[in-house]
Amino acid sequence: MAASARGTRFLRSISALLVLLPLLSLGCTLRQFPQSSLHPQADYASQIQRLLEDLMFWVVVIFVLVEGALVVAVVRFRNRPGLPEPKMTHGHTGLEIGWTIAPAVILAFIAVPTVVTIFKTQSKPPAGALEVKVVGHQWWWEFQYPGLDITTASELHVPIGQPVAISLQTADVIHSFWFPAMGGKRDVIPTHTNAMWFTPEKIGTFPGQCAEFCGVSHANMRMKLMVQSREDFEAWVAAQKRPPVEPDSTSLAGKGKQVFLTAGCVACHTIAGISPGTIGPNLTHVGTRTSLAGALYPNTPEEMAKWIQDPPVRKPGSIMPKLGLAPDQIAAVVAYLQSLK
């Protein structure tokens, strides 16, 4: 028992080297490859990584042996003067049995940890997990916290160390929810509610994106995971639960609010207490976000103005139409939205 544990540890360390060696030689870090699936930052991703290292060990061993045998066969038996006439062998029963059983045994080594990991990673989330309901839209992600009564978009805030239980639904077509640093992806399918859970282990911002082709702007359906300290997360929650900022009616933001109410924005966007639309992202605290339009652009006044000016140009296929607002109207509405901290 101890010997086998030592054996697997040995294998893992070798295979970890084998996976990471080519990547390390490229100087591969999470900073360079922020969306990497090889730099686990949660328990779920780590379990997959361990399994991948086991797999990788066998894959490399088999690769070296079989490709090696192929090369040896070609080089050693290449046609050259003095090579004896080949013997007309037709087969060898012992060999056939041997090389049927050998891969079967190796596959057993792969299959057992595979099945164990399947059941481990698809288990029920532990009690006390933070519940998040994720809704995929063409082409942005909506995040709802049923327990906290918060709805936001494109940026998922979670505290470090607390399991996050995610339920997955879609508003239109199939998408796939994927933060590589947290673990494997899970599809978001009409008429289904899928689930997954993970426990973030590092503070930081991790990019993710939709992984199932979902139409013209599939490439633009991005998101960010913000793993925060407990205090930062609590502060964020408190801010999100506040009612929206009420601008001074004479200020630019105040004019912007009027534009927002009259230009058609209210049909699709919610601002708590002001508008009920649910087709587009909830804007109650849009000013607190770091990115907009499906985490495609940084949330600056300039980018937001460009976005409102002509969304389909900024994100092809965008369901938000070009509203044809005058530049001063756009400036006003941007001022209003940016004020919604």
Is residue 128 at the binding interface for another protein, with CB under 8 A as the rule? no
Looking at the Cβ atoms of 217 and 275, the one nearer to another protein is 217
By CB under 8 A, tell whether 16 contacts another protein: no
Q: Is 110 in the site for another protein (CB under 8 A)?
A: yes
Residues 73-92 that bind another protein (CB under 8 A): 73-74, 77-79, 83, 85-92
Give the span between the Cα atoms of 97 and 135, in whole angstroms. Answer: 52
Q: Choose between 54 and 142: whose C-beta lies nearer to another protein.
A: 54
Question: CA 82 to CA 78: how far, in whole Å?
Answer: 11
Residue choice 17, 21, 24, 115 for contact with another protein (CB under 8 A): 115
Residue 295 amino acid letter: A
Would you say 195 or 279 has its CB closer to another protein?
A: 195
Identify which of 46, 224, 182, 215 has the alpha carbon closest to the alpha carbon of residue 120: 46
Q: How many whole angstroms separate alpha carbon 228 and alpha carbon 121? A: 23
Size of the site for another protein (CB under 8 A): 89
Tell me the C-alpha distance between 287 and 302, whole Å.
Answer: 13
Using the rule CB under 8 A, give the single segment among 127-135, 151-159, 183-191, 286-294 that binds another protein.
183-191
**222-228/155-159 β-pairing:** parallel
185 touches another protein by CB under 8 A: yes
**Cβ distance 163 to 174 under 8 Å?**
no
Query: β-pairing, 130-137 with 186-188?
Result: unpaired
172 in contact with another protein (CB under 8 A): yes
Q: Smallest distance, Å, CB 309 to another protein?
A: 19
Is the alpha carbon torsion for 229, 231, 236, 240 positive or negative? positive
**Contact positions with another protein (CB under 8 A) in 53-72:** 55-56, 58-59, 62-63, 66-67, 69-70
The two structure tokens encoding residue 243? 């009612």
If the CB atoms of residues 169 and 275 are measured against another protein, the closer one turns out to be 169
Instruction: Report in angstroms how near the CB of residue 14 gets to another protein at its nearest.
Output: 17
**Helix (H/G/I), strand (E/B), else coil: 240:** helix
CA distance 2 to 42: 28
Restricted to residues 280-319, the positions that interact with another protein (CB under 8 A) are 316-317
Token output for 116 = 């164990």
Do residues 199 and 43 touch, judged by C-beta distance below 8 A? yes
What is the contact mask toward another protein in residues 243 to 272, using x (rule: CB under 8 A)? ------------------------------
Residues 36-55 that bind another protein (CB under 8 A): 36-38, 45, 47-48, 51-52, 55
Question: Is residue 32 part of the contact set for another protein (CB under 8 A)?
Answer: yes
